[in-house]
């Protein structure tokens, strides 16, 4: 799998990134550790060597599962993890990083990201200068190699960048969720910042596996996802019907068509990389095949137009869920 440079760093990442929120188990149902380990390992063996996790995913459980799956090949993979909004004071950032290093069984983290802006989730408001000071210290000490942010607005990204080099941002971004294109994408293009798109398959919606009238199990957070609600969900189903012939034409799945479109954004110089989770090994192997789908300019334009039949009806609130 051809790799890309993360921002202006010397880190090489894969355009498909293994997402491991589900490996933390919290807010998911039916997750087994053995399946998560197999899925992460299968992703690595299929060429996906960049792994994204976070301290808050199961209070470190996801990080520990990543280590169990990949500790023996640590030098061949890129670890990206995140510090949560309640740990953004200087000392707490340092402590959180040390915990993540221990969970991941490593002495360095390739990409360390601020998961949510200060004040999110009723957290204490901490000046970004203080948080970035801690991030810069970690980088100086060799505990982390690059700094990223997640769920930041353009203005928040610009402010953070005043205090240190930001090499990536992680927004919700998919064919069915495109608010990032308004302000985040142009800023990132101009400033050589990589985009790591999360919910790149719209939490499974873009795979086509959830039909009309689907009911999620109790405890599954996707019931709060705006795309799975009312008119949005119906419009998505109609769009998927229009996307199927394009996927068939390319001998690929709906999910891989959506991933292939996303990692081609923006044209003509793509900087978007897609985080895709997987519950099982076969899903990981399938996600990796998205890089083999070659879309023409006409294909990209046609897919783009179909996606907008869903996104044109959404508001500008970048929050994907009604939590």
Neighbours of 4 (CB within 10 A): 16
- DSSP-assigned letters across all residues of 256-281: HHHHHHHTTPSSSS--EEEEEE-SSH
150 φ, ψ to 5°? -145, 140
- Rounded Cα gap, residues 63 and 57, in angstroms: 8
- Rounded Cα gap, residues 6 and 307, in angstroms: 27
Would the CA dihedral through 193, 194, 198, 201 be positive or negative? positive
- Rounded Cα gap, residues 96 and 60, in angstroms: 10
Tokens of 3: 């790799």
Give the distance from CA 128 to its chain's centroid: 22
- Rounded Cα gap, residues 52 and 20, in angstroms: 6
Contacts of 26 (CB under 8 A, 6+ apart): 57, 58, 59, 61
Tokens of 48: 């996906």
- DSSP-assigned letters across all residues of 198-260: BSTTGGGGGGT-S-TT--PPTT-GGGGBGGGSHHHHHHHHHHHHHHHHHHHHTT--HHHHHHH
Is there a catalytic annotation at residue 57?
A: yes
Catalytic residue among 57, 79, 112, 198: 57
The set of catalytic residues is 57
């Amino acid at each position: 799998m051809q790799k890309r440079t993360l921002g202006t760093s010397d880190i090489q990442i894969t355009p498909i990134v293994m997402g491991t929120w589900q490996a933390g188990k919290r807010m998911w149902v039916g997750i087994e550790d053995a399946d998560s380990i197999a899925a992460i390992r299968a992703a690595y063996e299929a060429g996906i060597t960049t792994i994204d996790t976070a301290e808050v995913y199961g209070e470190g459980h996801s990080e520990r599962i990543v280590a169990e799956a990949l500790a023996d090949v640590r030098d061949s993979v890129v670890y990206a993890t995140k510090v949560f909004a309640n740990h953004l004071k200087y000392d707490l950032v340092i402590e959180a990083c040390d915990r993540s290093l221990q969970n991941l069984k490593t002495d360095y983290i390739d990409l360390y990201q601020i998961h949510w802006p200060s004040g999110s989730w009723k957290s204490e408001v901490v000046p970004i200068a203080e948080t970035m000071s801690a991030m810069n210290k970690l980088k100086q000490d060799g505990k982390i190699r690059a700094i990223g942010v997640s769920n930041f607005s353009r203005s928040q990204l610009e402010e953070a960048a005043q205090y240190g080099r930001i090499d990536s941002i992680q927004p919700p971004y998919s064919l069915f969720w495109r608010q990032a294109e308004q302000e985040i994408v142009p800023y990132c293009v101009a400033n050589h910042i990589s985009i790591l798109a999360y919910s790149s398959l719209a939490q499974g919606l873009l795979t086509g596996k959830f039909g009309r009238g689907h009911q999620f199990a109790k405890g599954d957070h996707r019931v709060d996802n705006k795309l799975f609600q009312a008119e949005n969900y119906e419009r998505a189903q109609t769009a998927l019907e229009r996307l199927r012939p394009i996927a068939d034409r390319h001998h690929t799945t709906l999910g891989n068509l959506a991933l292939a479109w996303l990692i081609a954004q923006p044209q003509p110089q793509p900087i978007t990389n897609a985080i895709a989770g997987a519950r099982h090994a076969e899903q990981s192997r399938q996600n990796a095949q998205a890089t083999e789908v070659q879309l023409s300019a006409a294909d990209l334009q046609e897919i783009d137009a179909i996606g907008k039949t869903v996104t044109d009806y959404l508001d500008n609130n970048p929050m994907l869920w009604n939590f």
